[in-house]
Structure 1
Amino acid sequence: MGETKRKVRSDRKKDVKPTVDIELYECVSRISHITKTPIKDVGEIFCKHGLYSKKVIDNLSQYFRRNIQFNNTLYMGNRELLSERVTRKPSENRTRITIRFRQEVYDHISDLAYALDRTVSTTVAMLLDAAVRNTDILNQYVGEYVDEVLDDNRKKELRHVLKYINKNNPYEDEVTLYHLINNIMDKAVDKTINARIAIDSWLDQVIDREED
């Protein structure tokens, strides 16, 4: 009898293991902790959002060495730019992260890598960094998590507090939903509790102070 070939799943994912700065890894790890989502999934979600965000691709286009049409926009490459193939010295401030992509997304990342004249791995590192730095993507992701775990009253209270903080904020930088929840998690006495419990406890304290 001949060997039976194992059927390849159509939704099979491809592993990419980019090397990223420690600061980026810690940021992704923090988002993972807040939303109780594996790091590999957080990385995949942010890369996908970034891949289809005009703002993110516009930002990365400054590094394009080849012309490419991406998301219905034609970007012109600049051959004068130095290629990433120039050897980069190893750094202790970098670490490897594993992200898995469906074939369709992987193919689009490969197109982006072609425009950048970089490896897929390096392209994923750049894409992840650009996506995490995009406050629209960050707040959308954290906002969707908050919508999922908090009831309507708690969501309303949290948005009210955030609006109040920004209205009375003496600093130029806007306090985003992610920054607020990150701060709440930092101040939680029990570092192992989930975000919902931490937010509930924090809101109770804020409301109690307002009623005093």
Structure 2
Amino acid sequence: MAQKLSKTQQEQTLVRTQRQELKHELAEQYAQRPRNVTYRRRRTTFLVLGVIGILALVFSVLVLWPAPTSQPLGGIPVGTAAPQFHLPVYGGSGIGSSIDLHTLRGHPVILNFWSESCLPCLAEVPYLQRVYARDAAQGKFVLVGVNQADPKDDIRTFGTNYHVTYPLLFDAGNAVDQQYNVTAIPTTYFIDRNGFVRSVFVQPLTPETMKQGLASVGVSFS
């Protein structure tokens, strides 16, 4: 029993170490990136981050996640009305304000549940930021991140350090997380202009799943 516990502790230490290494790597990439990056360079960076994200996800599943059960992994059914919420913005754009889902009616919404302690979430952030800068900021859709696991001040610091410009919301008390039945992160909902859930992905988003999700809410993406 003692040996098994020791092994578990070693695995958890390894996860923490890999998380810190990934955070440092992301920070270095943001700090060192040129002002005018070529498409080839951006594509190469994304591929590297994609591999890191996949490896991190597999490692997290093998080490930390429970064994599969007959219960669904999470999420609310596609086709149902997205639960309403009103949350403060603590990171990214709009710090000090708040977002009410009801006021976003008429806009497709990407709702991303994440945490700084989640390795796949960290690997996903640069891609989400790139999508936001290219498309969401132009009014094609709304992208927001929801975090209930980290202290609110850490959310602000994370947004600053990693140059996140989409709104990062703080879900105090875990209420919205429970409303959306989030059992694993990252989990991302695609909500249409009428406020109905059209796609749910319990995994880091890729260009393909982003394209699928946006297509489900009537937005073309390439």
TM range (shorter): under 0.3
Q: Which has the larger radius of gyration?
A: 1
Using the size of structure 2 for normalisation, the TM-score is 0.24
The structure richer in strand per residue is: 2
The structure richer in helix per residue is: 1
